[in-house]
A and B are shown apart, each in its own frame.
Chain A
Amino acid sequence: MVAAKDLRIEWRSRVVVNQVVPFAAVVLLLFAFAGEPDSGFLRRLAPGLFWIAVLLSALVVLQRSFALEMADGGRDALRVAGVEPAAVFVGKAIAVGAVLVVLEAALALGVTILYDASLTRALPLVLVTCLLATLGVVAPGLILGALASGLRVRETLLPLLFLPVVAPVMIGATRSFEVALATDEGPLGEGWRWCGLLGLFALAYTALGVVLFEPLLEDS
């Protein structure tokens, strides 16, 4: 049941990917205009800029994910079909998470080309960071997205709620990428420690999401 819903959403979101990836590319370009591109600041800031682009794109994806459901009356259909709220949460998490992972791959390519910042040196660290950070973005994002859905002010409310909450993900994922990006020495331990933090964060919010989705969906 969850898989079916999940696939259905992903099919729809193929349209989303075609718009969100270009959006992220534009963000990367705009960052370059913030300074002197040859000075090397892009390479230095690449980890942070990468994750800011991810967060901004995540907002767009989350908004769309809930807007679509409201439009079709999807929420009521789910309830009538007897799907448990927790399953809805997990299903949506997988769908939105998959979209974001694809986006991150595209961004990694963009950052490698545009900012001369190669992430392949410490690939395991990069991959784990991406997975945990994505979950850490998706879980609170879905909770807050469900909270803001159906409201006229949702377009301004969701960013205000979402961005402060995921600040630890921004901090942790960026630090981890900084470690992965450092061309000289070997020690990756620091990066893995930040991954630990990301993992804890993701775990906490996934648990919270599973629990809170029921009261949140109650009142549509």
Chain B
Amino acid sequence: MIESVGQSERVTVVAEHTGSPFTRVLGGVALAGLALVAYLGLVATPREVIMGDAVRILYVHVPVAIGMYVAFSVTALGSVLWLWRRSVFWDVAAGASAEVGVLYTGLTLVTGMLWGRPTWGVYWVWDARLTSTALLFLMFVGYLAVRGIPAERSVRNRRAAVVGLVAFVDVPVVHYSVDWWRSLHQPATISKIDAELDGLMLFTLVVGIATFAAIYLWLVVHRFRVAWLEEQLDAHELAEAVAERRAEAQVPA
């Protein structure tokens, strides 16, 4: 990064990345947690009574599913707060959380299907939670599509926030109606993702949840900073263009 100082130009070396002491510690914690969950989940814990080794998938499936809900809540909350308070922080946070959220939601679906194949025999039995997750995934994708439209920033962000709010109101209703729908014809035991966990298995799950929450936070903080930098760049370029235009206008004819 080059700054001009008086007549000469000097290359200034500043931290040229989006990391910080906080993210370094967070990252370290996340990695340690990941190692622990991997060891416990894949090696140390026993097989489950009914589903056998497939339970080991749940040690990642459940954490990313919870992370997905957290991500969605943050996006929804950020959308509401942006519409209400017009604070740029919340808008950027909503967008960052949505991107990580779409990742986690996709992973929830994939791990759910990979769990389903050995257990149910098929990849999909219209399990209530997976079906609702599929709809949530599409809503996230729609939200990100709106964030990407070529329009003025305030217009775009406001519309994205409206989508966030519309989705936020919808998700509980979707869950309830899909659940009710599936309960009409399915005996409760067969198609639900359910497991008997205790002792070490439960502990592994809890560690997994905490770890993937930390990973979510790490990803969102970095993504937030990237988005923040982009905003700064946009504003800077806009200011430069305006200044240029003004300078041109003032050149005497």
A–B contact (CB under 8 angstroms): yes
Give CA–CA (A144, B164) in the complex, Å.
11
A144-B166, A216-B162 given as contacts; is B142 within 8 A of A168 (CB)? no
B166:A157 contact, CB within 8 angstroms: no
A147-B163, A216-B159 given as contacts; is B145 within 8 A of A160 (CB)? yes
Chain B residue nearest to A205 in the complex (CB): B169
Contact of B135 among A143, A147, A167, A175 (CB under 8 A): A167
A171-B177, A197-B177 given as contacts; is B146 within 8 A of A147 (CB)? yes
Give CA–CA (A174, B194) in the complex, Å.
28
What's the least CB distance linking B209 to chain A, in Å?
27
A153:B149 contact, CB within 8 angstroms: yes
Which residues does chain A contribute within 8 Å of B159, judged by CB atoms?
147, 216
Which residues does chain A contribute within 8 Å of B123, judged by CB atoms?
none
Q: Looking at the complex, which of B34-42, B50-58, B150-158 is the stretch in contact with chain A?
A: B150-158
Contact of B174 among A140, A143, A147, A168 (CB under 8 A): A168
Give CA–CA (A218, B165) in the complex, Å.
17
* Chain B: interface size category: 20 to 34
Q: Let me know if B207 is at the binding interface, CB within 8 A.
A: no
B170:A165 contact, CB within 8 angstroms: yes
Give CA–CA (A113, B141) in the complex, Å.
39
Interface majority SS (helix, strand, loop, mixed), chain B:
helix
A151-B149, A215-B83 given as contacts; is B142 within 8 A of A164 (CB)? yes
Give CA–CA (A175, B176) in the complex, Å.
14
Chain A residue nearest to B175 in the complex (CB): A168
Q: Let me know if A72 is at the binding interface, CB within 8 A.
A: no
B170:A168 contact, CB within 8 angstroms: yes
Which residues does chain A contribute within 8 Å of B165, judged by CB atoms?
208, 212
Give CA–CA (A163, B166) in the complex, Å.
12
A140-193 contacts to B, CB under 8 A, are 140, 143-144, 147, 151-153, 157, 160-161, 163-165, 167-168, 171-172, 175
What's the least CB distance linking A28 to chain B, in Å?
23
Give a binary string over A192-220; 1 marks a CB under 8 Å from any B CB, 0 the rest.
00000100110011001000100110110
B138:A160 contact, CB within 8 angstroms: yes
The number of chain A residues with a CB under 8 A from chain B is 29
A157-B145, A171-B178, A172-B177 given as contacts; is B139 within 8 A of A164 (CB)? yes
Q: Let me know if B89 is at the binding interface, CB within 8 A.
A: no
Which residues does chain A contribute within 8 Å of B174, judged by CB atoms?
164, 167-168
Contact of A168 among B141, B146, B152, B177 (CB under 8 A): B177
What's the least CB distance linking B107 to chain A, in Å?
19
Chain A residue nearest to B140 in the complex (CB): A164
Chain B residue nearest to A178 in the complex (CB): B184
What's the least CB distance linking B60 to chain A, in Å?
25
Contact of A212 among B145, B149, B151, B162 (CB under 8 A): B162
Q: Let me know if B173 is at the binding interface, CB within 8 A.
A: yes
Chain A residue nearest to B154 in the complex (CB): A219
Chain A residue nearest to B139 in the complex (CB): A164
Please give the residue numbers on chain B whose beta carbons come within 8 Å of chain A beta carbons, in ascending order.
Answer: 83, 135, 138-139, 141-142, 145-146, 149-152, 154-155, 158-159, 162-163, 165-167, 169-170, 173-174, 176-178, 180-181, 184
Please give the residue numbers on chain A whose beta carbons come within 8 Å of chain B beta carbons, in ascending order.
Answer: 140, 143-144, 147, 151-153, 157, 160-161, 163-165, 167-168, 171-172, 175, 197, 200-201, 204-205, 208, 212, 215-216, 218-219
10 smallest CB-CB distances across A and B, nearest first, come from A168-B177, A164-B138, A161-B142, A219-B155, A171-B177, A168-B173, A164-B135, A147-B159, A160-B142, A164-B139
* A to B CB contacts below 8 Å, 25 in the list: A147-B146, A147-B159, A147-B162, A152-B150, A153-B145, A160-B141, A161-B142, A161-B166, A163-B138, A164-B135, A164-B139, A164-B142, A164-B170, A164-B174, A165-B166, A165-B167, A167-B174, A167-B177, A167-B178, A168-B173, A171-B177, A171-B178, A215-B83, A215-B158, A216-B159
Given A140-B170, A197-B180, 11 further pairs, Cβ under 8 A: A147-B146, A147-B159, A151-B149, A152-B150, A160-B141, A164-B135, A165-B170, A168-B174, A200-B173, A216-B162, A218-B158
